Amino acid sequence: MAATAAASRSSSLLLSRRHGASLSSSSSASRAGASRLRAPRCVLGTAEQLRVVEAGKPVGGADPWAAAWTPKTPAQEARLAALPQEARDSRLKIFSGTANRPLAQEIASYLGVDLGKILIKRFADGEIYVQLQESVRGCDVFLVQPTCSPVNENLMELFIMIDACRRASARSITVVIPYFGYARADRKAQGREAITAKLAANLLTEAGSDRVIVCDMHSAQALGYFDIPVDHIYGQPVILDYLASKTISKDLVVVSPDVGGVVRARAFAKKLSDAPLAIVDKRRQGHNLSERSCT
């Protein structure tokens, strides 16, 4: 009887240990699966991952969830460094409208990427047609389009470009606007006037843009009209570097064209060895009409 009871206890203990090991392995597997599910999304697509090589052999084999592909915070630079040169920056796309294509081409050349292929044409009635000539699915798209003259044509063209990228499943759409049209109408100077700076900001948001990059806006308050992130870039450092490279006489005077530009002019004067500051008294007689007197 004692031997039978001991054998029964031994078999029960063995079964419990096996059951515990099975539970431990399943919990470990579930934790590993959960860790893979919780891992941040890799910035590289499947095609780019399969092209990564180490010592001349593919990493991870056919299993896309192998340990080599578990995204880690410090491993992003290593993955990008392992990519061949032709596969780098494959998720960055730069497209240009018709407003200033040479500028977009220079930006793309500086970043070491090719300017995206896009077809833009006008129909007989003046309507604008836009078609992307390459895939942007899952890509970070940058659209370079100043809304300079003709303002309405360039602005509408930009809206259609944004819509085309959104419908092509772009991951993000960033609009680069070196000159932002309608930015001067940022307040109501008289009754029953439209605030077109706010209207343009709303249209850019509704069209599908995720971020806007502007340069030297007419006034900083217009940045608050956007409901999406805005990067405001200033050209002052570039101009100051250029002036510093030139031989400037001691009679240098910094002039503000109106009262609204005094802050910027004073900043220029301070960085140019505290140069004297002059202010132009500008009085508007109407749209595109003004009288000036220097003080």
How confident is the model over 41-55, as a mean pLDDT? 40
How confident is the model over 71-94, as a mean pLDDT? 57
Same domain, 131 and 277: no
How confident is the model over 94-107, as a mean pLDDT? 95
Rounded to 10°, the helix 196-207/151-167 angle is 20
Same domain, 97 and 222: yes
Position 291 scores a pLDDT of: 62
Position 126 scores a pLDDT of: 93
Same domain, 170 and 144: yes
Same domain, 226 and 152: yes
Q: What's 156's domain CATH number?
A: 3.40.50.2020
What pLDDT, in 10s, does the model give residues 2-33?
Answer: 445 555 555 554 445 555 545 445 455 444 44
State the residue range of the domain holding 278: 238-294
How confident is the model over 132-158, as a mean pLDDT? 96
Whether 36 is in a domain gets the answer no
What pLDDT, in 10s, does the model give residues 184-218?
Answer: 888 887 889 999 999 999 999 999 999 999 998 88
Same domain, 228 and 261: no
Q: Which residues contact 151 (CB under 8 A, 6 or more apart)?
A: 181, 182
Q: Domain count of the chain?
A: 2
Same domain, 90 and 214: yes
Task: Tell me: pLDDT of 46 over 60.
Answer: no
Whether 48 is in a domain gets the answer no
Same domain, 132 and 220: yes
Q: pLDDT > 70: what percent of the chain?
A: 66
Same domain, 156 and 264: no
Average pLDDT of the chain, as a whole number: 76
Instruction: Find the largest Cα–Cα distance for the chain.
Output: 118
User: How far apart are alpha carbons 149 and 157 in whole angstroms?
Assistant: 12
Position 246 scores a pLDDT of: 81
Same domain, 218 and 131: yes
Taking 3-state DSSP, the helix, strand and coil percentages for the chain, each rounded to the nearest 5, stand at: 45, 20, 35
Same domain, 254 and 209: no
Whether 118 is in a domain gets the answer yes
